[in-house]
Amino acid sequence: MIVNEKVAVDHGLKKDEYAKICELLNRTPNITELGIFSAMWNEHCSYKSSRLHLKKLPTKGKKVIQGPGENAGVIDIEDNDAIVFKIESHNHPSFIEPYQGAATGVGGIMRDVFTMGARPIANLNSIHFGSPQHKKTKNLLRGVVHGIGGYGNCMGVPTIAGQTSFDSSYNGNILVNAMTLGLVKKDKIFYSKAAGLNKPVIYVGSKTGRDGIHGASMASASFDEKIEEKKPTVQVGDPFTEKLLLEACLELMAGDSIIAIQDMGAAGLTSSSIEMASKGNLGIEINLNKVPCREAKMTPYEIMLSESQERMLIVLENGKEEHAKKIFDKWNLDFAVIGRTTKSRKIELYFDEEKVADIPVDTLVENSPMYDRKWKKAKLPKKNKIKKEDLKHLKIIDVLKKILANPNVCSKEWIWQQYDHTVMGDTIQKPGGDAGVIRVHGTDKAVAASVDSSAFYCWAHPLTGGKQVVCESFRNLISVGAKPVAITNCLNFGSPENEENMGEFVECVEGIGEASKYLKFPVVSGNVSFYNQTMDEGIKPTPVIGGVGLIMNYKNMITMEFKEVDNLVLVIGKTEGHIDQSLFARNILNKKNGPPPEVNLFNEKNNGETLLKLTDNNLIKSAHDVSLGGIISAVAKMCIKGKKGISIKKPKYLINEIEYLFAEDQGRYIIEISKKDFKKVTDILNKNAVHFDELGTITENELYINEKTKVRIDELSTYNKSWLMNYMSK
Amino acid sequence: MKSSVITFPGSNCDRDMDVALKKFGFKNKMVWHADAELPKSDLVILPGGFSYGDYLRCGSMASKSKIMQSVINFANSGGMVMGICNGFQILVETGLVPGVLLRNKYLEFICKNVFVKINDKKNKYFKNVDNEILEFHIAHNEGNYFCTNDQLKEIEDNNQIAINYCDENGKIEDQFNPNGSIKNIAGIFNKEKNVLGMMPHPERMIDTSLSGEDGSLFFKNLINNLK
């Protein structure tokens, strides 16, 4: 095939990018080389629109062992233990083929983690669907949930937490973000940097097929009406092979045979070989005839661009080939020496004794395009004027029921019951709480993890929204008694070529950076997903934050269910009555505009750290952060989970009862304390200048405000639990 | 007491079982599926997981593993063999226990706590368990026990049902049946009651910080019965 500008454009390259390739090579690339360039230079692999802005994120900290740039980030959790974690998107494939798209998303992120030598110990996911009324939503939800479960359950890794939301902006582009945490000894972490000349390059895992060719390019473009034709670009997952690959890799990693290892994810053999070479300042020579292929007569182009799953590339020490092969034979996996490292700093590919590609590594990586895209700064929307009359006719209990049954608030049990969340025997906080918590096997330590996003806030004001998501993650970890350590982020946005979408990206990233810097909650890994749009309709900006925290003694973990009648309930943090962009404003008052609640980083940090002091003194019986639906929704959930009631009394400074109960001001928590500890608790709060309200007392089985305003907890529970079950069974 | 846990390609509850057995005093060995010989054991366990990815039919390929001939011989000579979840699926494929396991009635994987009622205590697995009802944990996609009417009659005549799904008070009704199993069957014995297959995972219930403690009860009792 003759390569020209048109062929390049068909590969998703821009005309000027093609010109640059010709200039860098000083000739016209052949088709295999063009394929390689298109795979490396697309948005998904090159981060060409985002790189400039991602540099601003804080990535260092006392506990950070490895920041962005590797397969995953790594943090220190003491005693020579480390946690490897990362979140990644699989949005485009999941919309085209929900089961396989979601399944391979989970498979891909687990591979990123065990590539670094860590055994995966927990999975999380953040999934976003269109309006429940949209004709595709139900099937997409079912497919995605089955796919996530199908892969994670088979691997035997518990899915410990997640987030599900619905909004019409995802009608044409669902989001599937998967996160994995792995456990590794600090001195046994593996990296992707190749080193040494003439070292054997090994291919292990599944055979290479024609699936997933151009997957990364597909994920770097918007959808149009021909999306059905893109099905062949979705990879097909085989969790069984991945389980074998995991065990085989960990077995090989126990010795000292491996110099570098890289999984074949997006852009398969192309990106894995180039990344290892680039990091090691080396060249790699590969004989493509040696690559194990599933199908006959695969061309070099197809072999290099296939995104078949469950494959790894390893640079081995000389003389270790037999030892390594034995392990992979034991696990019935393919093993082939396909090449060697060279000093050429080029990727040189041979096929049928002919050289089919010869590209300097620099041209693919360092010289890849980077854009400073135009972007538009968002204005802070004007506040809505909420009149007393608008609120007068509202009955608190009716509103509460509506909120608890809202698709974005209701119980997601139907989903997480389909995920094995207890395998590995260390899950001490199951899905449905503020964060999932797993014990570090065989120790007293535990790790907490949570995934969060607030697309409505980000959409209303990206800078504030970006800050808010980080704070929410911080709060969720504090609520289970964990000290927040670091985050990973999955940045889901529309087209970077659209100034408004690009502006949303830039400002959300700025907000994330500001908050994580202030909270000392650095970003150690992440992923950007642009072009989440169908034709011109983009999603609401949806940065997803995966937060990880540490609990030194798992017995100090906190859960959210109310524990004991007569205990006191406090609201930590000040309630100003911010209604705009709250679930209450959007769904009950039907006011969709207005600014999101303000984020005060000082208060966030101070309130959170003070709560950790209370935790250290064992003073908190239960805790939950205040988010969607305000104080009363948070309290209702604590009642439902604990099968207890609460008698609420009006705090004195009350702005207005409804505003007080449904506002979504930030930096707040609900905590339960024992009466006898009241003085100890309030002394600590006062000493640290943390505002608190006494909200009420725990009772048997009723949420009670006054004789006219009360409801039984089992009734609230039904509202909360039935929406999703009913929706999915219809 | 010596136990052996068989690891098949795709087993994923083998470590959890190892942890549980050791916690309650077993000297446990992990045994690879391709080995021919079983080590000397008082109890052999086929653990949960997805042996061979559940491809073809859950448990079918694992039932043909090299080690399984030794396991079958061991069982036929009266040795104690317990299959949990995927292990149960492997047991039915070998024919050591009757029946089959179909996909769950609602075609969905289920992971949750359930209550089971002990149907028969005249066996080494449940003899001397004080409780009638245990809270166990299930996590499976194919746990819907099914057999022919003739088989069912034989099973009932021989009192081979080990445990049934029930509510916390021991009521065995359809609404407490998580997967559609015939007669709410959660576990079943062979005729001689030395082989037990069950869907619930007692090894996930051995710690108050996890799902509960009834698994501890089960294992403590089991090791005493074997002594």
Sequence-separated (6 or more) residues with CB below 8 Å from residue A526: A54, A68, A86, A87, A488, A489, A490, A491
Structural domain harbouring B21? 2-226
Q: Mind telling me how many Å the CA of A136 is from chain B's nearest CA?
A: 20
User: In percent, how much of chain B has pLDDT > 70?
Assistant: 100
pLDDT at A660 over 70: yes
Question: Looking at residue A513, what is its pLDDT?
Answer: 98
Give pLDDT tens digits for A427-450: 999 999 999 999 999 999 999 999
What integer pLDDT is reported at residue A217 of this predicted model?
Answer: 66
Window from A307-321, A381-395, B154-168 with minimum mean pLDDT: A381-395
- HSE, CB side, 13 Å, CA atoms: give it for residue A98: 19
> Between the CA atoms of A530, A121, A609 and A703, what dihedral angle is there, to the nearest 10 degrees?
90
A205 at B interface, C-beta within 8 A: no
Report pLDDT for A133: 96
The overall average pLDDT reported for chain B is 96
Whether residue A215 has pLDDT greater than 70: no
Put simply, the answer to whether B12 touches A155 (Cβ < 8 Å) is yes
Residue A336, exposed/middle/buried by CB under 10 A (0-12, 13-18, 19+)?
middle
Strand A533-534 versus strand A537-538 pairing type: antiparallel
DSSP class per residue in B48-104: -B-GGGG-SSTTTTGGGSHHHHHHHHHHHTT-EEEEETHHHHHHHHHTSS-SEEE--
Report yes or no: A356 and A272 within 8 Å, Cβ to Cβ: no
Strand partners, B138: B112
Number of Cβ within 10 Å of residue A570's Cβ equals 20
Give A720's pLDDT tier (boundaries 50, 70, 90).
Answer: very high
Instruction: Provide the pLDDT for residue A220.
Output: 65
The predicted structure's pLDDT at residue A647: 98
Q: Which helix (H) or strand (E) holds A437?
A: strand A436-439
pLDDT band at B180 (very low <50, low <70, confident <90, very high): very high
d(CA B205, CA B227): 23
The pLDDT of residue A229 is 65
Average per-residue pLDDT for chain A: 95
Percent of chain B as helix, strand, coil, to the nearest 5: 30, 30, 40
**Residue A44 annotated among the catalytic residues of the structure:** yes
Helix (H, G, I), strand (E, B) or coil at A624: strand
What φ, ψ does residue B87 adopt, rounded to 5°? -65, -40
**Residue A162 contacts B where some CB pair is shorter than 8 Å:** no
Task: Report percent pLDDT > 70 for chain A.
Answer: 97
Say how many domains are in chain B.
1
Residue A717, min C-alpha distance to chain B (Å): 18
Please state, in angstroms and as integers, the Cα–Cα distance from residue A23 to each residue in A2, A29, A178, A245, A377, following that order: 17, 10, 39, 41, 36
Distance, CA of A572 to chain centre: 28
For position B127, which CATH number holds?
3.40.50.880
pLDDT band of residue A218 (cuts 50, 70, 90) is low
Q: Any idea how long chain B is?
A: 227
Catalytic residue among A53, A90, A214, A461: A90
Look at A111-125, A285-299, B198-212 and tell me which has the smallest mean pLDDT. B198-212
In the prediction, which pLDDT does A230 show? 67
Task: Return all residues near A576 (Cβ < 8 A) that are at least 6 apart.
Answer: A655, A663, A665
Residue A1 vs residue B32, higher pLDDT? B32
A486-530: pLDDT as tens digits: 999 999 999 999 999 999 999 999 999 999 999 999 999 999 999
Question: In the prediction, which pLDDT does A704 show?
Answer: 97
How sure is the predictor about A592, in pLDDT bands with cuts at 50, 70 and 90? very high
Task: Note the pLDDT tens digit of each residue in B103-135.
Answer: 999 999 999 999 999 999 999 999 999 999 999
pLDDT per residue over A361-404, tens digit each?
999 999 999 999 999 999 999 999 888 888 889 999 999 999 99
| B139 touching A (Cβ < 8 Å) | yes
The DSSP 8-state label assigned to residue A78 in this structure reads S
* Interface check B110 vs A, CB under 8 A: yes
CB-based contact, B40 to chain A, within 8 Å: no
Q: Give yes or no for residue A536 having a pLDDT over 90.
A: no
Instruction: Give me the phi and psi of A551, to 5 degrees please.
Output: -115, 120
Are residues B111 and A427, on separate chains, in Cβ contact within 8 Å? no
State the pLDDT at residue A212. Answer: 75
The two structure tokens encoding residue A557? 């973990």
Residue B42 Cα, gap to closest chain A Cα (Å): 24
- A425, B210: Cβ pair inside 8 Å? yes
CB contact under 8 A, B210 and A420: no
For residue A530, the model assigns a pLDDT of 96
Q: Tell me the average pLDDT across B71-77.
A: 98
Among B86, B111, B138, most A C-beta atoms within 10 A, so best to mutate, is: B111
Report pLDDT for A538.
Answer: 87
- Helices A268-280 and A31-41: angle between axes, nearest 10 degrees: 70
Minimal CA separation from A419 to chain B, in Å: 6
- State the greatest distance between any 2 C-alpha atoms of chain B, in Å, as a whole number: 45
Assess B111–A contact: CB distance below 8 Å, yes or no: yes
Of the candidates A86, A42, A87, A491, the one whose C-alpha atom is nearest the C-alpha of residue A266 is A42
- Assess whether pLDDT exceeds 80 at residue A650: no
Residues of A in contact with B112 (CB under 8 A): 417
Which positions of B are catalytic?
A: 85, 201, 203
Q: What is the pLDDT of residues A156-194, one digit of tens each?
A: 999 999 999 999 999 999 999 999 999 999 999 999 999
Kindly tell me if the per-residue pLDDT of A690 is higher than 70.
yes
Which residue is associated with the tokens 């070292």? A199
pLDDT at B67: 98
Q: What is the pLDDT of residue A232?
A: 67
From chain A, the residues in CB contact with B15 under 8 A are: 424-425
Cβ-contact B204, B211 below 8 angstroms: yes
Render pLDDT for A123-161 as a digit per residue (tens, 0 to 9).
999 999 999 999 999 999 999 999 999 999 999 999 999
First CA to last CA distance, chain A? 52
**Are A421 and B111 an interchain contact pair (Cβ–Cβ within 8 Å)?**
yes
Tokens of A101: 């798209």
**In the predicted structure, residue A120 carries a pLDDT above the cut 90:** yes
Q: What is the pLDDT of residues A27-63, one digit of tens each?
A: 999 999 999 999 999 998 899 999 999 999 999 999 9
What is the model's pLDDT at position A656?
Answer: 86
Is the CB of A153 less than 8 angstroms away from the CB of B13?
no
Give the residue on A whose Cα is nearest the Cα of B215: A425
Q: How do residues B17-41 score in pLDDT, each as one tens digit?
A: 999 999 999 999 999 999 999 999 9
pLDDT at A210 over 70: yes
User: Residue A262 pLDDT > 90, yes or no?
Assistant: yes
Average pLDDT rounded to a whole number, residues B146-164? 97
Angle (CA) A381-A387-A392 rounded to 5° is 135
